[in-house]
A and B are shown apart, each in its own frame.
Chain A
Amino acid sequence: MSAQQVPGGPVPGEGVGAGPGEAAAVGAPRRGNETVYFALRNPKLLAGAVVVAVLLVAALAVPPFLGGSPNAYVGPQAQPPSAEFWFGTTNFGQDVFAQFVHGLRSTFLVGLLGGGIAALVGMVVGFVAGYRGGLVDEVLNMITNIVLVLPAMVVLIIAAAYLEARGILVQSLFIGLTSWPWAARAIRAQTLSLATRDFVDLARLSGRRAHAIIFREIAPNMSSYLFMTFILLFGGAILIAAGLDFIGLGPPQGVSLGLMMHSAVSWSALQLGMWWWFVPPGLGITAIVGSLYIMNVGLDEVFNPRLRET
């Protein structure tokens, strides 16, 4: 993947005539406009964003209207979808729709926290290793490789099984702390190649500190790359959380899409033909992660000028 973008390319209506004083102010929005221009014309990005946005709005806006706990026994048992219970009810008379929207909430939360922590650790490790080089790089590289080859799922399972506090925050933390290595390696490689460019040396000659060089000189050259890394980590965290919940290692009192599937399977929804119990959470996870990946492809096209013309 190319870390370099061509800023301010052939954009319709690009006016060059900015006075020197406005230079810095004009530069950034023009680049932003161009990105937005191509983003709004990218069907993959738009479709993915719409699906994620709809689910996000459902997760944020709907639960307050429902009131009560999503696990409360509110209706008749094992009913298929109806006007009253849109997604039907469980074996115990719980509203599947209420569980679904609450589950979406925790799914987004895990994605944001787990993906965010992983992105943060991956960025710090990758940037520092790539920029500092030498011994620092070797040590960080070794740590990265160790975490990379650890069977993360097994560690998560063991940790989750023995940990008392099994809240969604702890789960996100564990996911975040085990899924960063590939991001760190990718960012390190990009940083290594950018750090040899003369503008980095020129920033040093200008008296810049190392962290300012990393975050204000090198990082902006790979902003699209970092954004895509976060999206992939976000989707990955959701999948791992769903997997943990599904095998019964999720937060015991919570609701999540993975936990819904776990109880559906535990209470033989499959054998009883209660498809409304396990299809919504399964589809929800697939839709979020799938849309994120499609958005990632779309973003690639938006940020990479060479992919645009196709």
Chain B
Amino acid sequence: MLRLDRVSKVYRVGSFGRERLHAVRDVGFEVRSGQVVALIGESGSGKSTIGKMVLGLTSITGGAITFEGTDVAGLRGHRAHKEYYRRVQGVFQDPFSSFNPVFPADRVFALIRAEYFPEVGEAEWRRRIEESLRVVRLDPAQVLGKYPHQLSGGQLQRILIARALLLDIRLLVADEVISMLDASTRIDVLNLLADLKARGMGILFVTHDLSLGNYVSDTAVILRRGAIAESGPADRVFTNPLHPYTRRLLSSVPRLHRTWAQADAELPADDGGCPVHGRAGAGDGSATLVEVEAGHFVGCAGDGEGGPCRPDPRA
């Protein structure tokens, strides 16, 4: 359904835009309908940039993104974009910046109605909004008519999810949608995502939290400095992590029954050098992925900036 093919993004930064920042390099993966793909990586690894490129909000520097056969970068004009957004929606990372501060928060629903459902009657639309809000565990009476600054980040995030659900979408780009929710609401929203998935929706689930990535996703894509470090079926990636970066991420997930000292003690034992070039470490760190088992890809352990992978001193 959604396919990314060696997608890269270069930002021009610095004065006069002379410096280049490779935010995303040669990223490729696929989201099928009824599938959740977790995009995992630390802060600044380019997750949101990928999300915005998929939504057609940021230009693509290289590669191609196709959704059901159409090239997203090739969408021209307002009408084409509008039709695209009828099928693909997103929830942004920062709920506070996603609402226009001078209007009540429920204006996001009004926009959807004005553009996509002008023919729907007042009462019917009210019903749809309330239903959609209940799906994300919000009490309509508590959030409708309020200004964004009168609502919490978690409430705002769920309003954005409810907004996306008003349209009959095929793909949802969910950028850290549960970062501001408490543990129990989090589970509610994750279950909601599982429901949506069961209904055939494809979800690109962006997160920096590995344990959550594990919970709903079918495929995991581990992003490191804009390039894929490891990708594959979620259960394989989590039970058999091959890239040292994935291992480090996994070992840094706090676990109830283990102290940090114990976790640290396990680290060196994990080490197997570069998964592509072995302990000798001769690769140049370029983003060539090798398939180690069916559908499970892993990249070179180089520093991600074109530097070589080195033999680990602990090895």
Chain A residues engaging chain B, CB cutoff 8 angstroms? 4-8, 16, 18-24, 26-27, 31, 197-199, 201-210, 217, 220-221, 223
Q: Which of B27-35, B103-111, B240-248 contacts A (4 or more CB under 8 A)?
A: B103-111
How long is the Cα–Cα vector from A22 to B146 in the complex, in angstroms?
Answer: 11
Check if B134 is an interface residue, CB within 8 A of chain A: no
* CB atoms of B100 and A205 under 8 A apart: no
How long is the Cα–Cα vector from A21 to B127 in the complex, in angstroms?
Answer: 11
Chain B residues engaging chain A, CB cutoff 8 angstroms? 52, 55, 57, 78, 81-82, 85-86, 89-90, 92-94, 97-104, 106-108, 110-112, 115-116, 122, 126, 129-130, 140-141, 144-147, 149-150, 160
Top 7 A-B pairs, shortest CB-CB distance: A20-B144, A23-B145, A207-B115, A207-B82, A206-B111, A198-B98, A198-B97
Residue of A nearest to B105 (CB): A23
- Name the contact of B144 in the complex, choosing from A4, A23, A197 (C-beta under 8 A): A23
* CB atoms of A20 and B106 under 8 A apart: yes
* CB atoms of A207 and B85 under 8 A apart: yes
Most chain B C-beta atoms within 10 Å of own C-beta, residue among A24, A31, A199, A217:
A199
* CB atoms of A198 and B55 under 8 A apart: no
Neighbouring A residues of B160 by C-beta, 8 Å:
202
How long is the Cα–Cα vector from A23 to B150 in the complex, in angstroms?
Answer: 14
Total CB contacts across the A-B interface at under 8 A: 100
* CB atoms of A206 and B115 under 8 A apart: yes
Supplied contacts A198-B93, A206-B115, 11 more A-B pairs, CB within 8 Å:
A23-B145, A24-B107, A24-B110, A27-B147, A199-B98, A201-B92, A205-B57, A205-B90, A207-B86, A220-B103, A221-B100
Neighbouring B residues of A8 by C-beta, 8 Å:
147, 149-150
Neighbouring B residues of A202 by C-beta, 8 Å:
92, 98-99, 108, 160
Neighbouring A residues of B85 by C-beta, 8 Å:
204-207
Residue of A nearest to B141 (CB): A20
Residue of A nearest to B129 (CB): A20
Q: Distance (Å) between the CB of A193 and the closest chain B CB? A: 12
* CB atoms of B104 and A5 under 8 A apart: no
* CB atoms of A209 and B78 under 8 A apart: yes
How long is the Cα–Cα vector from A18 to B106 in the complex, in angstroms?
Answer: 13
Neighbouring B residues of A209 by C-beta, 8 Å:
78
Q: Distance (Å) between the CB of A82 and the closest chain B CB? A: 55
- Given A205-B85, A220-B100, A221-B100: A198 and B149 within 8 A (CB)? no
- Name the contact of A204 in the complex, choosing from B81, B104, B129, B147 (C-beta under 8 A): B81
Q: Distance (Å) between the CB of B273 and the closest chain A CB? A: 42
How long is the Cα–Cα vector from A198 to B93 in the complex, in angstroms?
Answer: 9
7 intermolecular pairs with C-beta atoms under 8 Å apart: A5-B102, A16-B150, A20-B140, A20-B144, A22-B145, A204-B81, A206-B116
* CB atoms of B145 and A208 under 8 A apart: no
How long is the Cα–Cα vector from A26 to B104 in the complex, in angstroms?
Answer: 9
How long is the Cα–Cα vector from A27 to B149 in the complex, in angstroms?
Answer: 13
How long is the Cα–Cα vector from A205 to B92 in the complex, in angstroms?
Answer: 11
